[in-house]
Amino acid sequence: MNETAKLSNISIVLQKPKYAGNIGAVARAAKNMGINKIIVISQDKYEQEEVKTRSTHLAVDVVEKIKYADDIKAALGRFNYIVGTTARKGAARGPFLTPRQMAEKIISLSQNNKIALLFGPEDKGLSNDELRFCHAAVTIPTARAFRSLNLSHAVMVLCYEIFIASLERMVETPPKLARAEELEGMYEQLKTLLAKVGFLNPQNPDYWMMHLRKFFSRTTLLARDVKIIRGVCRQIDWYTSQKKT
C-alpha cells in the first residue's frame, strides 16, 4: 500500500543546544517538513522571545508546544527508535547511515513506533555516552573544506529526506519495536548476569557491554524479543543460583 511517514510519531530532540535562536530556527525547519514535536534537553533557561523571533510567527505554534527535559535518559525512554546525528566517526559510534538511508528506514518504522531524531550541542555534537542510546547514527555528507553545519540546517536535511522519501512509498507496517527504557532494562539485566557468571571483566564491564549494545543495534529488537531475552536471563540466573546450593 502507498504510505507516507507518520510524522506525528517523529520528534526532534535537541541535547543541550547553546543558543535560544537555534531552537527557534529548528522549529521553523521542522514545521516546513511537517514535523511539529520538539524536545529540548537542558537545565538552562532559554529566552523565549528570541526562540519565537527566529521561528517566525508561522512556527510559533510549534515553539509553544516544545517540551523541556533535564535528563537525556528520561527524555528518550518512551521512544522505540532513536537516530543520533554526528560528524565524527569512530568504531564506537556506529553503525552509520546517510540521511537518505535513514529516511528509507524511518518511513516504515514510523507507522507503529515513536521515532526520535537526536541532535547534539552546536559546538561539540553528541558524545559517545549520548550516542549509546541510539539505534543508529547519521552523518551528513559535506565538502571537506567546510564540514560544520548549523543546527537548524542539519535538522532540515534529515526532515527533508524523510519528507521526500515518504511522498510515494510501498511499505509494510512493521511490528512494534522495543522502547528505549525496555532496552536499557535488558542491558542492565545482561550486565548483572554476565558479571555474575564471570563473562565481564569487573575492572571494565562497560567495554564488553558496548560491544553487546552494538551487536543488538544491528538488529531491530521488538518488544517481545526483549521479553524473551530477559526471560532467558532470569532462567540462567535462577539455574546458577540452584547449582551453588
33 neighbors 156 (Cβ within 8 angstroms): yes
> Which residues of the chain does CATH 1.10.8.590 include?
180-244
pLDDT tens-digit readout, 185-242: 999 999 999 998 889 888 888 888 998 998 998 888 999 999 999 999 999 999 888 8
User: What does the alpha-carbon distance between residue 98 and residue 41 come to, in Å, rounded to a whole number?
Assistant: 25
Residues 191-203: tens digit of each pLDDT: 999 998 889 888 8
3-state DSSP helix/strand/coil percent for the chain, to nearest 5? 50, 15, 40
Residue 162 burial (CB count, 10 A): 27
**b vs e for 20-42, b when ≥16 Cβ sit within 10 Å of the residue's Cβ?**
bbbbbbbbbbbbebebbbbbbbb
Judge contact between 97 and 161, C-beta under 8 A.
no
CATH class of 7-165: alpha beta
Q: Which three cell numbers stand for residue 65?
A: 508546544
Domain with CATH 3.40.1280.10 in the chain: 7-165
- Second-level CATH architecture of 180-244: Orthogonal Bundle (1.10)
pLDDT, one tens digit per residue, over 61-81 is 999 999 999 999 999 999 999
Q: Is the pTM of this model over 0.95?
A: no
Judging by beta carbons within 10 Å of its beta carbon (0-12, 13-18, 19+), is residue 137 exposed, middle or buried? buried
